[in-house]
C-alpha cells in the first residue's frame, strides 16, 4: 500500500514546458505562425493536451491538410503518442537540449507505421486501459482491475485526462494494494526503453530467500554482464538500491507501469 503520499503528489505534479512550432514547409499563409507554448504534465499523453496546439496551427496549413491528424517530431524522430510525455522527454532529450522542449508540429505525411493514428480519445483510452489491465495481470493476476466497475475505470481515465490527483488516486490506490494472500506484487510491471524500443521481462519483487529485490537486481536480470548503466525515470536517476516493490507503488506512471529509460554505457 502506498504510504508516501507526498512522493505520489510530487510525481503527479511533474511538468514540462514545451515550445511547439509548425514545420516551415507546411505553412501556406504569408504570415509565419507564432510558436505555441504550453506547460504539460509529464504523466499525460500528447493527444490529451494538444487540442489547443492543433487549433492554433491548423489555420496556417493548406485546406486539405487541416483535417488531417496532427503529429509531432523532435530531432527527426516522430513522437510516439502512446508513450507518456515524461518517457519521451527522458528518452529523447539529451543534456544539451534545454527547456522549453522544442517540438515540430506536422499535418502532412503521418508516419503511420511508426506511430499510432489516434483519431479520437476513445482509442487512447482503450490503449491506456489495456496497459493498466496488463499491469494488473502482472501484479494481481488481473483480479483487481477485472473486479472493478466501469465507473472506476472511467474515474481513472478522467482523473488522468483532467489532471485530478485525488480523483485518480481514490481508485488507483486499490490497484497498488497488496492483496491478503500476497506478500508483494506477483511481478513488477515495468518497461526498459533503449534507443530502438523497449523490453519487458517477468521480474518478481522478492528474491527466492524473501529478500527485497532492488533496481540493481532488475538491471542485472535485464542486462546481465553490463556494469555501467544509466537509468532515468521522471527526469531523475533513482538510487540503484531502491526496492522494486516500493518503486512500483510510488513511481509508476498512471498506466501502472514503471517506465525506465536505460542507457548502456560502453
Partner 1 sequence: MDSNQTLTIDEFNLSIENIIKISNDILDGWTLHVNKENDNGKYITKKSTISIEEPGKGNPITLTYEHHVVFSLSYSVPMICFNVWKADGSVLSMEEYLNINQNFDDSNMYNTITQLDHPVLCRPFLTLHPCKTQEIIEPFLSTSKNPVISWLTVVSSYVHLKILEEYIKHC
**What does the alpha-carbon distance between residue 178 and residue 253 come to, in Å, rounded to a whole number?**
18
Q: Based on CB atoms, which residue is closest to partner 1, 116 or 165? A: 116
- Binding interface with partner 1 (CB under 8 A): 82, 112-117, 119, 122-123, 126-127, 130, 133-134, 137-138, 141-143, 187, 189, 196-202
At its nearest, how many Å lie between partner 1 and the CB of residue 116? 5
Instruction: Calculate Rg over the CA atoms of the chain.
Output: 20
Nearer to partner 1, 60 or 185 (CB): 185
Q: How far is the CB of 54 from partner 1 (least distance, A)?
A: 18
Tell me how far, at minimum, the Cβ of 258 lies from partner 1, in Å: 14
Residue 244 neighbours by CB distance under 10 Å: 24
| CA dihedral for 226, 262, 198, 256, sign (positive or negative) | positive
Q: Which is nearer to partner 1, 198 or 246 (CB)?
A: 198
Residue closer to partner 1, measured from CB, 112 or 241: 112
Residue 256 CB, nearest approach to partner 1 (Å)? 12
C-alpha to C-alpha distance for 184 and 111, rounded to whole angstroms: 41
Cα–Cα dist 185/182, whole Å: 7
Spatial distance between the Cα atoms of 92 and 79, rounded to a whole number of angstroms:
9
Question: Least distance in Å: CB of 226 to partner 1?
Answer: 13
Looking at the Cβ atoms of 57 and 187, the one nearer to partner 1 is 187
Contact 244, 212 (CB under 8 A): yes
Amino acid at each position: 500500500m502506498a504510504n508516501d503520499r507526498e512522493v505520489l503528489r510530487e510525481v503527479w505534479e511533474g511538468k514540462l514546458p514545451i515550445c511547439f512550432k509548425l514545420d516551415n514547409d507546411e505553412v501556406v499563409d504569408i504570415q509565419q505562425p507564432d510558436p505555441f507554448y504550453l506547460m504539460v504534465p509529464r504523466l499525460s499523453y500528447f493527444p490529451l493536451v494538444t487540442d489547443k496546439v492543433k487549433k492554433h496551427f491548423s489555420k496556417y496549413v493548406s485546406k486539405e491538410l487541416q483535417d488531417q491528424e496532427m503529429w509531432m517530431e523532435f530531432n527527426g524522430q516522430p513522437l510516439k503518442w502512446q508513450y507518456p510525455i515524461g518517457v519521451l522527454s527522458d528518452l529523447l532529450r539529451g543534456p544539451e537540449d534545454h527547456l522549453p522542449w522544442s517540438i515540430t508540429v506536422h499535418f502532412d505525411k503521418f508516419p503511420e507505421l511508426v506511430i499510432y493514428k489516434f483519431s479520437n480519445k476513445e482509442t487512447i483510452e482503450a490503449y491506456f486501459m489495456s496497459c493498466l489491465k496488463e499491469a494488473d495481470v502482472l501484479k494481481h493476476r488481473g483480479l483487481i482491475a477485472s473486479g472493478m466497475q466501469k465507473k472506476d475505470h472511467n474515474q481513472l481515465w478522467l482523473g488522468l485526462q483532467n489532471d485530478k490527483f485525488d480523483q485518480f488516486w481514490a481508485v488507483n490506490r486499490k490497484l497498488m494494494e497488496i492483496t491478503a494472500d500476497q506478500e508483494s506484487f506477483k511481478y513488477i510491471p515495468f518497461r526498459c526503453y533503449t534507443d530502438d524500443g523497449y523490453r519487458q521481462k517477468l521480474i518478481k519483487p522478492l528474491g527466492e530467500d524473501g529478500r527485497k529485490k532492488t533496481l540493481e537486481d532488475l538491471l542485472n536480470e535485464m542486462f546481465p554482464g553490463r556494469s555501467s548503466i544509466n537509468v532515468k525515470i521522471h527526469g531523475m536517476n533513482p538510487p540503484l538500491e531502491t526496492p522494486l516493490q516500493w518503486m512500483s507503488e510510488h513511481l509508476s506512471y498512471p498506466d501502472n507501469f514503471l517506465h525506465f529509460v536505460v542507457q548502456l554505457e560502453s
